[in-house]
């Protein structure tokens, strides 16, 4: 019997890289976005400016507009991480600054029909609700704001979000 020799140099070896699963990719993206938000908040504001560099100044407050969507609870956390709260619309002028459909810092998850702001204070009254809202149609405990007004919706929907905090005094 003759020995069999195989010349391995003629074979190519390929390394196979697998792409992360979509959920893992989304979690990693979320983690990076949260870290980026924390880094931005740590940068503070440019000298002489009342708001951080990527926030908008309007009527004595600074606003941060998200570029990606989160569920309501994650939006609240993201704003807190940046030293702000999920926005509450308090004037007609403020409504002009929103972009698309966004989360509001209101929830009735503790007691149905008792709307609380993210700072824990109760909502006294609002003329911003859309017609027939709030209706709690599908166990809806959070509030979104769109061109047609406020709407109660599931807290697990993903929406854009806006953070709001008081502006710092301007320095000269």
Tens-place pLDDT, residues 102-153? 999 999 999 888 899 999 999 887 778 878 878 878 789 999 998 888 989 9
Number of helices (H) and strands (E) in the chain: give both, helices first.
Answer: 3, 8
**pLDDT 10s digits, 44-55:** 545 556 888 789
Comparing 141 with 35, which gets the higher pLDDT? 141
Give the pLDDT score at 103: 95
Give the pLDDT score at 11: 39
B/e letters for 55-89, b = 16+ CB within 10 Å, e = fewer, are beeeeebbbbbbeebbbbebbbebbeebebbbbbb
Whether pTM exceeds 0.75:
no
Nearest to 111 by CA among 103, 100, 122: 122
The runs of H, that is alpha helices, within 62-159 are: 72-81, 92-95
Average pLDDT, the chain: 78
Give the pLDDT score at 125: 74
């Amino acid at each position: 019997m003759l020995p069999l020799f195989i010349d391995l140099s003629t074979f190519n070896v390929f390394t196979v890289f697998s792409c992360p699963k979509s959920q893992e990719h989304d979690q990693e993206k979320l983690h990076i976005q949260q870290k980026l938000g924390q880094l931005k908040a740590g940068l503070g504001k440019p000298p002489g400016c009342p708001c951080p560099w990527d926030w908008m100044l309007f009527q004595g407050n600074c606003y941060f507009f998200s570029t990606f969507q989160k569920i309501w609870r994650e939006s609240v956390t993201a704003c807190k991480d940046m030293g702000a709260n999920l926005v509450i619309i308090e004037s007609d002028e403020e409504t002009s600054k929103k972009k698309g459909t966004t989360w509001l810092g209101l929830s009735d998850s503790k007691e149905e029909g008792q709307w609380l702001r993210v700072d824990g204070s109760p909502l006294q009254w609002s003329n911003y609700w859309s017609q027939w809202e709030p209706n709690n149609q599908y166990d809806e405990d959070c509030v979104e704001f769109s061109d047609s007004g406020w709407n109660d919706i599931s807290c697990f929907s993903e929406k854009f979000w806006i953070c709001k905090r008081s502006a710092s005094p301007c320095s000269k």
